Structure 1
């Protein structure tokens, strides 16, 4: 019998608009809880989970793929798309078919999207490109602006109509065209160590699903909040949120397994992990 956790429980929050429907009811007390919420970009949350600084977190899909032995998936919780995702974009000066031999700038904030981009170029478009890591917002304004760059999250929403980069590849749509399946960019995970050490005072899976369900039922409120300081119109935001997937159903799991199996086949993952769920 596990004893109750005596330390403060910490819940990781990706610092992007796309998770607002889930975290708004938690951060405002609409849905009470006992977690301390810690916000940051995906790569930072990945590192915090790996160190044990977080107990439950949104994390990039590839982080679970690399460290499935350390985590349990929160059932039916994900962030993904069934087509265009609008916030994971390759922006280019030239058509994607003409990027062979060019260098692509990749945001340091992303792991999953970078892996997907490499997979698409290697196995879908089938031509070589080189990659460098850096900040797109800074470098596109400098003297050595890249020929193409991968932008994610709020940066992608802000830069998607940049006049110097008229060619836009939506990675969520490219995956759907290639496989016919949804793409899961992020999942929620529970630390296996924390789950084994003690009993959570409240079920994090139930809490997150209740928050998600509240957000989906109150999208007008979410749209009002998102409009503050956002470069998109209300209708563009509605289309954006409508295109997102917040569930991890059978088809989403199939897409996630396929992503892992292709990364394992190419050597980018040591193996394709099984999907192990918290509470199962």
Structure 2
């Protein structure tokens, strides 16, 4: 879906937004029209699940957007990363979960239902289950977990992400829960970065200063949103159905920076993708120079 900010400029810059609660601190200042953050820039927000934004970026339909970490790994020649901006965790993430009706180590030969909204989490799950748990005879099918559960079906195991995971995490028919952020930390000792922000190289060649300015706005919006996160939780609670306390605990587990340890985690993920043949080789991390 798309929604436009009100302005006089007939051609605002399109900005991709993951349609999940977890990016609230990054986008709230922009979406609320905070002039201390926006300055003279105007955006058309294009919101959707990571898989949809990946497609829009890959096809050149968005100049700047959030994207799955795996998307950058697959097509690094098309993108430049925005420095110090990411979505990840240093342990439990709570919104990327494998829900199972039996112990994870007893899932060999099982069918696992995977949300169609995810690319990074699906590849992470495959590698974790194969390398960390020794499960190499699994079958993966893609579908809408919420709709399937509402129909009365009960798949043996489900990978769900984002707001759906927050809703389904305490489902009574799925007593076993594997948090992929926590499992990665146990496996590698590193944070896991689920999503990045990037600009299209093709778009950057045409409008470098505008995209540098847009990147600076995103970073300023992140700083402003994180600093006032506690004031955003009551409204988020009403919208999400989670208590303020639950939301505070959820956001406390997320990281929005791309510091040295996060970069190490990202590089470890790309090395694992290359080892599994999911990408040809681990990409260099190339960043846009945003200036002042």
Alignment of 1:43-192 (within 5 A): 43-127=51-135, 128-192=137-201
Give how far 1:232 is off.
Answer: 2.0
Aligned residue pair count = 275
Aligned mate of 1:236, from 226, 246, 256 = 246
1:215 is aligned to: 225
Structure 2 residue ranges without an equivalent (≥5): 1-9
State the 4+ residue runs in structure 1 displaced beyond 4 angstroms.
none
Aligned mate of 2:31, from 27, 31, 37 = 27
Confirm or deny: 8 A CA contact 1:136 1:149 kept in the other structure.
yes
| Partner Cα distance (1:140, 1:68) in 2 | 37
How high is the TM-score relative to the length of structure 2?
0.91
Structure 1 residue ranges without an equivalent (≥5): 1-5
2:118 counterpart SS class: coil
| Partner Cα distance (1:7, 1:238) in 2 | 37
| Partner Cα distance (2:208, 2:12) in 1 | 12
| Partner Cα distance (1:109, 1:143) in 2 | 21
1:247 is aligned to: 257
| Partner Cα distance (1:101, 1:66) in 2 | 28
1:59 counterpart SS class: strand
Give how far 1:204 is off.
Answer: 2.1
2:277 counterpart SS class: coil
Confirm or deny: 8 A CA contact 1:157 1:231 kept in the other structure.
no
| Partner Cα distance (1:148, 1:184) in 2 | 23
| Partner Cα distance (2:153, 2:33) in 1 | 46
1:267 is aligned to: 277
Larger mean Cα displacement after TM superposition, 175-184 or 131-140: 131-140
2:234 is aligned to: 224
| Partner Cα distance (1:153, 1:205) in 2 | 24
2:178 counterpart SS class: strand
2:25 counterpart SS class: helix
| Partner Cα distance (2:147, 2:264) in 1 | 37
1:84 counterpart SS class: coil
Asked if 1:199 is matched to 2:208, the reply is yes
How high is the TM-score relative to the length of structure 1?
0.95
Larger mean Cα displacement after TM superposition, 266-275 or 215-224: 215-224
CA deviation vs aligned residue, 1:207-234 (integer Å, no higher than 9, x gap): 1111000111101222122102323221
| Partner Cα distance (1:72, 1:7) in 2 | 23
| Partner Cα distance (1:45, 1:167) in 2 | 31
